[in-house]
Amino acid sequence: MPAAAGPLPGPEDEARYGFEPLFNGVRVLVHLPGDGRIRLISGIGQDVTSADPELRQLPVVLPPGLLAVLDGEIITLGKHGGPSMERLRRRMSLRHPAAVEQAGADMPARLMVYDILHLGEPVLHGFLRLGLVTLDPAIPTPSGAPQ
* Cβ contact 48:40 at 8 Å: yes
* Cβ contact 133:146 at 8 Å: yes
* pLDDT tens-digit readout, 21-42: 778 899 999 999 999 999 999 9
Mean pLDDT of the chain: 80
| pTM score, whole prediction | 0.69
Q: Taking every pair of C-alpha atoms in the chain, what is the biggest distance, in angstroms?
A: 51
Q: Which of 64, 71, 55, 74 shows the shortest CA–CA distance to 118? A: 71
Tell me what pLDDT residue 63 has.
86
* pLDDT tens-digit readout, 81-138: 889 999 999 988 888 999 988 988 888 899 999 888 888 876 655 444 444 444 444 4
Q: Is 88 helix (H, G, I), strand (E, B) or coil?
A: helix
* Cβ contact 28:44 at 8 Å: no
